[in-house]
């Protein structure tokens, strides 16, 4: 029997939301990551989220196979896939028990999902060309966690999984203004036209307590955020390209000196000490 398929549930690369948001937040951090190749530190929150995404990807891909009459065992089960991921990323291993338990409860929480949705795409890269009259044209793509047809109204939804400590109503408000979801609205309208029913945030609670909490919300499509995103991404990429071509060592690129860039609510910036104490690189 052929080896089972292990899905890539990683990031979208240099032309995706994570890279562009880093350029918007701190151009020096983007240089250290994407020019020098310095690794970023991982937090417990990001490790849990990464492991949870592996489980969700294989769960929905197997669901898609069953719906299409294919053999779901071509793909690893969520549990097997998480085990494989922990072999490749040993630091994730300490979260395996918690994420497996949480995901088992997530599946039990939505017992009719197999009948309610038709899975269209799982873990696929999709992109479009964004144009702004000032900053020009830029290709932007992202990895889609899940695209499905909601059978009750025949609308196509783009669903993104977020593993969070405590799901609450603020998450939908905050993520609705995030570049990732603003772009997903652009992408959905471009690919699916009038059939597009919006972006859905799938919140999976991983606070480690006895009762896991889950929530799903359709995010608002904010018109001016959608209008302005091509310019915002274009400007961030122009700044990145300028400094990349400047000859200045990335450790001396401009830095964002504000506390929310150096430490967000999830983790400390991996390069914070570089800005505080580092003495290497072009002195310009």
In this predicted model, what pLDDT tens digit does every residue of 174-205 receive, in sequence order? 888 999 999 999 999 999 999 999 999 999 98
The pLDDT score that the predictor gives to residue 280 is: 61
How many helices and strands, by DSSP H and E, does the chain display? 11, 5
The pLDDT score that the predictor gives to residue 62 is: 98
* pTM of the predicted model over 0.85: yes
Q: Residue range 205-224: average pLDDT?
A: 80
Contacts for 260 with CB less than 8 Å, ≥ 6 apart? none
Q: Residue range 218-241: average pLDDT?
A: 93
Contact 177, 217 (CB under 8 A): no
Of the options 1.10.1740, 2.60.40, 1.20.1250, 3.90.320, the CATH number for the domain spanning 24-244 = 3.90.320
The C-alpha torsion from 57 through 60 and 62 to 63, rounded to 10°, is: 180
The pLDDT score that the predictor gives to residue 279 is: 64
Q: Is the pLDDT of residue 218 over 70?
A: yes
For the stretch 18-63, pLDDT in tens is: 899 999 999 999 999 999 999 876 788 889 999 999 999 999 999 9
Nearest to 236 by CA among 38, 32, 31, 41: 31
CA distance 126 to 146: 12
Q: Which of 145-149, 175-179, 200-204, 258-262 has the lowest mean pLDDT?
A: 258-262
Q: Which helix (H) or strand (E) holds 132?
A: strand 117-132
Give the long-range contacts of residues 223-229, CB within 8 A, separation 24 or more: 225/177, 225/182, 226/182, 226/185, 226/186, 229/130, 229/179, 229/182, 229/183, 229/186
Average pLDDT of the chain to the nearest whole number: 90
Q: Which of 169-183, 208-222, 246-260 has the lowest mean pLDDT?
A: 208-222
In the chain, domain spans = 24-244
Q: Is the pLDDT of residue 1 over 50?
A: no
């Amino acid at each position: 029997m052929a080896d089972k398929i292990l899905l890539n549930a990683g990031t979208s690369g240099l032309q995706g939301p994570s890279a562009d948001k880093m350029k918007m937040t701190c151009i020096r951090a983007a240089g250290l990551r994407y020019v020098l190749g310095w690794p970023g530190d991982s937090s417990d929150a990001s490790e849990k989220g990464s492991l949870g995404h592996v489980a969700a990807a294989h769960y929905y891909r197997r669901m898609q196979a069953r719906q299409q009459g294919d053999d779901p065992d071509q793909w690893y089960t969520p549990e097997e896939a998480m085990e494989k991921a922990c072999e490749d990323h040993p630091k994730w291993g300490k979260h395996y028990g918690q994420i497996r338990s949480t995901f088992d409860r997530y599946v039990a929480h939505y017992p009719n999902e197999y009948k309610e949705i038709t899975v269209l795409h799982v873990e696929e890269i999709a992109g479009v060309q964004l144009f702004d009259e000032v900053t020009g044209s830029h290709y932007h793509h992202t990895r889609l966690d899940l695209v499905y047809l909601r059978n009750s109204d025949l609308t196509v939804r783009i669903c993104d999984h977020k593993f969070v400590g405590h799901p609450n109503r603020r998450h939908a408000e905050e993520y609705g203004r995030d570049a990732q979801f603003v772009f997903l609205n652009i992408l959905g309208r471009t690919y699916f036209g009038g059939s597009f029913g919006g972006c859905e945030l799938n919140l999976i609670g991983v606070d480690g307590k006895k009762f896991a909490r889950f929530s799903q919300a359709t995010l608002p499509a904010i018109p001016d955020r959608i209008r302005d995103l091509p310019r915002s991404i274009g400007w961030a990429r122009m700044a990145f390209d300028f400094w990349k071509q400047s000859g200045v060592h990335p450790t001396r690129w401009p830095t964002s000196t504000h506390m929310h860039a150096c430490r967000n609510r999830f983790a400390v910036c991996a390069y914070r000490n570089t800005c505080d104490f580092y003495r290497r690189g072009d002195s310009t």
